[in-house]
Amino acid sequence: MFWRRPTGRSDVLAKYGIVASSQPLASQAGLRILQQGGNAADAAIAAAAVLDVVEPFSTGCGGDAFALVHLPGNEKPISFNGSGRAGSGATLDDLLDREWQGIPLRGGPPITVPGAMHLWGHLLSEFGNLELSDVLQPAINYAQNGFPVSPLIAQLWNILLPVLGNDDARRIFTIDGSSPEIGDIMYNQDLARTFQTVAETGVKSFYEGEIAERIVSTTKKHSGFLELEDLATHETEQTTPISTSYNGLMVFEHPPNGQGFAALEMINIMEQFPIQEMGEMSTERFHAMIEGKKLAYDDLYRHNADPDFYDVPIEQLLSKDYALSRANLIDMNNAMDLENMSMKQGPDTVYLATADEEGMAVSFINSLYMGFGSGLVAEGTGIKLQNRGNLFSLDPTHPNHYEPGKRPFHTIIPGALYRNKEFFGVFGIMGGAHQAQAHAQFVSHIADFDRSPQAALDFPRFHHDQESNTVALENGIKADIQGQLRLKGHRLVHETSFGFGGGQAIFVNGNAWIAGSDYRKDGQAVGY
């Protein structure tokens, strides 16, 4: 096809172990852990910790994380919710009394309990071969001794510089007030000390004692709602993954409060159309998927919330009969308008995948929500604090309305695929509201058109924005398709290569692993 291998990237194959992430230093750290006797869980946490250092605006232990873990011989993954809850220092009535229309984007109010570090430790204690001190060592080294800033990260770092909101953030993440350029050596020695403390004393020291006190004091200094008890009582939750079938594959996602069910509903709607017959690069395929996305996200914005506070109707939303009823609303000649039920969502996240010689594989995603999260660093710790609480609604009638101890709507979703009850692969594509629709597009490339991981990631994507009902088409989608979509009533924004996230994938390939790493990021897949 005309777009074939636009990036020049090949799939990476390896017999024993493999890691794919959005930054080469993180991928290589995970690989070294595998070669030192670690397994896929060890490698995932090592890579996640390095990404905290080398891609600092996207991720960190002060954010949240989710994971799907495949254990050899299992017919489905084990899922883990590593998201934190709203602080107990304010109620919805308190916020409404302030006449807020929403929770502020930056500063203390949007900070929720950081769940990522607890999930890191939980996965290691459940599945890891190595000690936390071994797994955190690569990140400690880069934080203490420095790392060179890679190209795309340098560009985004510069854009995000204005959000840095306290002295620690500006001291650590600027060079005399300016953003680093490609190749500049950056450090986070405060984070190195934090990681060293956790390595020596365990994850509990993150949620109790001096580190927790600094997280809470920084949050309160900037009008946030966290209390020490909120951190001390935080736990990772093992959950039951949700799934649907599509053209011979079982597609697994994490359940709410993540948006994974929107990907599955979109896939179910796509199944009602002859996607293979339409062709991979066709107006009809793009139209059907875009319309299916609109309907799936309409349900997402109506229903996604913490299941401890709201009974999300997952069984109904993921039923094939419901998908047929939704598909019947699609006019193949005309684009639809829906009532706007959307919300702003941050695109800054990291997704990584790992697999090992024994057959374990990990699908892992970690985020601060928007770039640099709240803009605040917990003083003296190097920990960037997320702003995930910004996604709470202040509408008392909405399932996702703010409540103390409640987990917010979450964008970050890891994915996994099985075929004939056997493990097939792990995948994920980061990017805020782009994630679920990108998952569905990726699955179609695999199931409908038998693409390899790298080719499925490379294929140009669409991004539909629910709020404006506009469609961005990535460079590489034919001009005649763009014109035909306009004739159907789609409002297209200027062709662009920005805003389409970035993904990683690792599949089984006979007796080896095969992996792809998105050219839209600085990363790579590496194996041995």
How far apart CA 79 and CA 307 sit, in angstroms, is 15
3-state DSSP assignment of residue 241: coil
Contact (CB, 8 A) for 62 and 378? yes
Cα of 374 vs its chain's centroid, Å: 17
Q: What is the mean pLDDT of residues 144-153?
A: 96
DSSP label at residue 255: -
How far apart CA 445 and CA 239 sit, in angstroms, is 28
Instruction: Please give the full DSSP string across 440-494, using - where no structure is assigned.
Output: HHHHHHHHHH---HHHHHHS--EEEETTTTEEEEBTTS-HHHHHHHHHTT-EEPP
pLDDT of residue 348: 67
pLDDT of residue 497: 53
Instruction: Please give the full DSSP string across 354-376, using - where no structure is assigned.
Output: EE-TTS-EEEEEEEEESTTTTS-
Q: What is the pLDDT of residues 30-87, one digit of tens each?
A: 999 999 999 999 999 999 999 999 999 999 999 999 999 999 999 999 999 999 999 9
Q: What is the mean pLDDT of residues 136-146?
A: 98
> Does residue 424 carry a pLDDT above 50?
yes
Cα dihedral 383/385/86/121 (nearest 10): -40
Q: What is the pLDDT of residues 190-240, one digit of tens each?
A: 999 999 999 999 999 999 999 999 999 999 999 999 999 999 999 999 999
Burial zone of 148 (CB within 10 Å; 0-12 exposed, 13-18 middle, 19+ buried) = middle
Catalytic residue among 59, 194, 236, 349: 349
Cα dihedral 417/421/423/425 (nearest 10): -20
- Give the percent of the chain with pLDDT over 90: 94
Residue 232: phi and psi, rounded to 5, are: -65, -30
pLDDT of residue 55: 97
pLDDT of residue 498: 59
**Helix residue spans in 182-247 (DSSP H):** 189-201, 204-207, 210-221, 228-232
User: Domains plus CATH for the chain?
Assistant: 239-345+413-527 (3.60.20.40)
Nearest to 79 by CA among 415, 421, 424: 415
33 CB contacts (<8 Å, ≥6 apart)?
Answer: 42, 43, 46, 130, 134, 135, 138
At 2, the pLDDT band (50, 70, 90 cuts) reads very low
> Does residue 340 carry a pLDDT above 70?
no
How far apart CA 224 and CA 84 sit, in angstroms, is 15
Residue 505: phi and psi, rounded to 5, are: -155, 145
Q: Quick count: other Cβ atoms within 10 Å of Cβ 504?
A: 32
Q: What is the pLDDT of residues 446-489, one digit of tens each?
A: 999 999 999 999 999 999 999 999 999 998 999 999 999 999 99
Cα of 406 vs its chain's centroid, Å: 20
Radius of gyration of the chain (CA): 22
The chain-wide mean pLDDT, for the chain, equals: 95
Antiparallel, parallel or unpaired: β 462-465 and 383-384: unpaired
How far apart CA 263 and CA 268 sit, in angstroms, is 9
Residue 491: left (phi > 0), alpha (psi -120 to 50), or beta? beta
* Paired strand residues for 527: 18
How far apart CA 238 and CA 257 sit, in angstroms, is 13
Q: Quick count: other Cβ atoms within 10 Å of Cβ 120?
A: 31
How is residue 235 written in tokens? 């736990």
pLDDT of residue 509: 96
How far apart CA 388 and CA 472 sit, in angstroms, is 25
Q: Which helix (H) or strand (E) holds 392?
A: none
At 347, the pLDDT band (50, 70, 90 cuts) reads low
Does 349 participate in catalysis according to the annotation? yes
Contact (CB, 8 A) for 150 and 24? yes
pLDDT of residue 1: 41
Sign for the CA dihedral angle at 219, 383, 380, 193 comes to positive
Q: What is the mean pLDDT of residues 276-285?
A: 98
How far apart CA 193 and CA 9 sit, in angstroms, is 37
How far apart CA 12 and CA 153 sit, in angstroms, is 23
Q: Which helix (H) or strand (E) holds 34?
A: helix 24-35
> Does residue 495 carry a pLDDT above 70?
no
Which CA distances in Å does 525 have to 187, 211, 243, 510? 25, 34, 26, 18
Burial zone of 336 (CB within 10 Å; 0-12 exposed, 13-18 middle, 19+ buried) = middle
125 CB contacts (<8 Å, ≥6 apart)?
Answer: none
